[in-house]
């Protein structure tokens, strides 16, 4: 069935269960998951059915595919440039315009090249409704998109697929595993030379507060440097890189134009690029140390108990960098929630205010518990994220980790079929043994064995090592009988 094949394909492209389901619900609404689907209103006006239209386009008899304005295929591609690209894509790989596999690959090409923001959501989202709306409003953009009813209906289709395919794997516990655990904590580079480190004491841990730096510099070395006398200084500098400007945060201040400017800032961790370019979190001080992060507002300060970290910003326009630092920040937050037994969806009453366990600098300002800064809400919404998606993603990560503890068998039918398919793919080349050389030459020259239409190293692909089905077996027999004049 197309459903299972589509699900497997979307999952193999890194989509979450909710993301795959939300996309499938929309494809179902567009085409009933039929890759040959021609928009119904055009069947009459063009005088074609799904099948005859597909065949006519493939054979070249029908030449107005690109410009006829008829929706076609899984996603009901309609606009001429998208139909043209679909046509070119299928032609280039020698596939029918109505081929499921080709259309899925084209769909991924469109998503990654023209709709990277949508793809990013589908790879990280935990809500089917959210996934469905992103696809509906940003990718499909049908005429009736503005009605709530359309959104609800499509999310409902998506939920059906989620229930059908995702629940099985969640119960099996092949959900997420946490990157950071007590056995594998984030790397440490304590900054004991900073005024922050020297001045502040312990506070009870109440939650986690996100910052981003507000400057276009993705490198950790800009902010994090080891102590002058740290035992692992050389190793740390190799990992993090060297700050030649000496303006990192591991200092009490710096001379600027002959004037001493004290540095009164300090947070527990930073997320950004190591010297290698990999994104990582680095811990800069004990988690239960009072932060000098969000400053204070009229009602007090979240510095008293919220673990705080800075995410190094880029120019805020790179979805790939955003995806990496967002994931890393979610991982770090989940790790801290587990470490301090914090409820990611919870609130605590502090200074007479109800404060979310997980929040950002701007949230603290809104609550009267921080200074007037916009981070991180000038950045997250650009990619469909919010502090609520953070809480949901942290919850999902913690839930997945718990499931994994109870059940580590992540093999199921879907996975087995994937592996089976991979194995067949490996066998489907021209590898063969010497002993069969004469027989192979005879079988191909007489036409008893035909290839699969592909060419490998200049020869037709005969898939010598692959499994022979009963269907292929009778076909070979039949060709032989024909040669012998028996049929």
Q: In this complex, which beta carbon is closest to Zn ion, that of residue 283 or of residue 303?
A: 303
Q: In this complex, which beta carbon is closest to Zn ion, that of residue 17 or of residue 375?
A: 375
Question: Sheet of 187-188: strands edge to edge?
Answer: 187-188, 279-283, 269-273, 306-313, 207-216, 358-360
- Planar angle of CA 473, 476, 481, nearest 5 degrees: 125
Nearest approach in angstroms of CB 267 to Zn ion is 9
363 belongs to the binding site for Zn ion (CB under 5 A): no
108 CB-near residues (< 8 Å, 6+ apart): 13
314 belongs to the binding site for Zn ion (CB under 5 A): no
Task: List for the chain the helix, strand, coil content (%; round to 5).
Answer: 45, 15, 40
CB 134 within 8 A of CB 125: yes
CB 240 within 8 A of CB 282: yes
Q: In this complex, which beta carbon is closest to Zn ion, that of residue 28 or of residue 322?
A: 322
Could you give phi then psi for residue 268, rounded to 5 degrees?
Answer: -80, -20
CB under 5 A: which stretch of 41-49, 81-89, 194-202, 357-365 binds Zn ion? 357-365
Nearest approach in angstroms of CB 373 to Zn ion is 5
24: helix, strand or coil: helix
Give the largest CA-CA distance in the chain. Answer: 103
290 belongs to the binding site for Zn ion (CB under 5 A): no
Site string for Zn ion, 179-218 (x = CB under 5 A): --------------------------------x-------
Q: In this complex, which beta carbon is closest to Zn ion, that of residue 172 or of residue 211?
A: 211
Nearest approach in angstroms of CB 349 to Zn ion is 23
CB under 5 A: which stretch of 57-65, 148-156, 239-247, 353-361 binds Zn ion? 353-361
Tokens 């280039």 appear where? 92
Nearest approach in angstroms of CB 16 to Zn ion is 29
Q: In this complex, which beta carbon is closest to Zn ion, that of residue 262 or of residue 374?
A: 374
Q: How far apart are CA 380 and CA 319, in angstroms?
A: 11
Pick from 191, 274, 200: nearest CA to 228: 191
Q: Which of 8, 36, 361, 391 binds Zn ion (CB under 5 A)?
A: 361
Q: In this complex, which beta carbon is closest to Zn ion, that of residue 371 or of residue 472?
A: 371
CB under 5 A: which stretch of 148-156, 326-334, 360-368, 381-389 binds Zn ion? 360-368
289 belongs to the binding site for Zn ion (CB under 5 A): no
313 belongs to the binding site for Zn ion (CB under 5 A): no
Q: Which of 129, 222, 273, 373 binds Zn ion (CB under 5 A)?
A: 373
**Segment 375-394, which members bind Zn ion (CB under 5 A)?**
375
Nearest approach in angstroms of CB 264 to Zn ion is 14
Nearest approach in angstroms of CB 286 to Zn ion is 20
Q: How far apart are CA 327 and CA 278, in angstroms?
A: 13
Beta bridge partners of 256: 259
CB under 5 A: which stretch of 199-207, 268-276, 358-366, 473-481 binds Zn ion? 358-366
Q: How far apart are CA 381 and CA 362, in angstroms?
A: 13
Nearest approach in angstroms of CB 405 to Zn ion is 35
Q: Per residue in 103-119, is it b (16+ CB within 10 Å) or e — as a string?
A: bbbbbbebbeeebebbb
Nearest approach in angstroms of CB 466 to Zn ion is 58
348: helix, strand or coil: strand
DSSP secondary structure letter of residue 175: S
Number of residues that bind Zn ion (CB under 5 A): 4
Q: In this complex, which beta carbon is closest to Zn ion, that of residue 31 or of residue 362?
A: 362
DSSP secondary structure letter of residue 265: -
Interface contacts to Zn ion, rule CB under 5 A: 211, 361, 373, 375
């Amino acid at each position: 069935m197309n459903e299972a094949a589509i699900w497997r394909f979307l999952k193999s492209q890194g989509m979450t269960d909710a993301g795959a389901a939300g996309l499938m619900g929309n494809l179902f609404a567009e085409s009933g998951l039929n890759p040959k689907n021609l928009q119904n209103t055009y069947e009459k006006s063009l005088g074609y059915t799904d099948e005859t239209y597909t065949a006519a386009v493939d054979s070249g008899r029908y030449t107005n595919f690109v410009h006829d304005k008829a929706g076609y295929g899984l996603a009901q591609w309609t606009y001429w440039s998208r139909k043209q690209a679909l046509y070119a894509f299928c032609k280039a790989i020698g596939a029918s315009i109505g081929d499921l596999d080709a259309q899925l690959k084209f769909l991924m090409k469109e998503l990654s090249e023209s709709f990277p923001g949508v793809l990013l959501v589908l790879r990280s989202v935990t809500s089917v409704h959210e996934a469905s709306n992103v696809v509906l409003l940003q990718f499909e953009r049908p005429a009736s998109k503005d009605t709530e009813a359309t959104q609800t209906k499509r999310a409902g289709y998506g939920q059906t697929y989620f229930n059908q395919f995702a629940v099985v794997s969640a119960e099996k516990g092949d959900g997420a595993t946490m990157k950071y655990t007590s056995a594998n904590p984030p790397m440490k580079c304590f900054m004991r030379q900073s005024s922050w480190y020297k001045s502040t004491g312990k506070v009870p841990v109440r939650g986690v507060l996100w910052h981003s730096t507000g400057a276009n510099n993705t490198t950790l070395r800009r902010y994090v440097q080891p102590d002058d006398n740290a035992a692992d200084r050389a190793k740390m500098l190799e990992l993090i890189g060297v700050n030649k400007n000496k303006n990192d945060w591991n200092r009490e201040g710096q001379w600027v134009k002959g004037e001493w400017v004290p540095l009164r800032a300090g947070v527990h961790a930073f997320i950004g690029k190591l010297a290698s370019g990999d994104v990582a979190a680095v811990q800069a001080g004990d988690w239960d140390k009072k932060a000098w992060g969000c400053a204070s507002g009229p009602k007090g300060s979240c510095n008293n108990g919220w673990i705080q970290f800075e995410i190094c910003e880029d120019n805020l326009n790179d979805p790939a960098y955003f995806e990496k630092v967002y994931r890393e920040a979610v991982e770090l937050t989940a790790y801290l929630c587990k470490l301090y037994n914090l409820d990611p969806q919870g609130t605590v009453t502090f200074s007479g205010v109800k404060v979310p366990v997980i929040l950002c600098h701007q949230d603290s300002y809104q609550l009267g518990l921080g200074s007037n800064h916009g981070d991180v809400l000038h950045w997250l919404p650009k990619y469909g994220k919010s502090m609520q998606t953070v809480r949901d993603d942290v919850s999902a990560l913690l839930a997945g980790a718990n499931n994994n503890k109870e059940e580590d068998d992540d093999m199921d039918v879907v996975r087995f079929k994937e592996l089976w398919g991979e194995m067949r793919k490996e066998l489907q080349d021209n590898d063969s043994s010497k002993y069969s050389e004469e027989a192979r030459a005879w079988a191909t020259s007489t036409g008893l064995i035909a290839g699969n239409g592909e060419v490998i190293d200049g020869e037709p692909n005969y898939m010598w090592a692959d499994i022979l089905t009963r269907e292929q077996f009778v076909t070979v027999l039949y060709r032989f009988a024909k040669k012998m004049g028996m049929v």
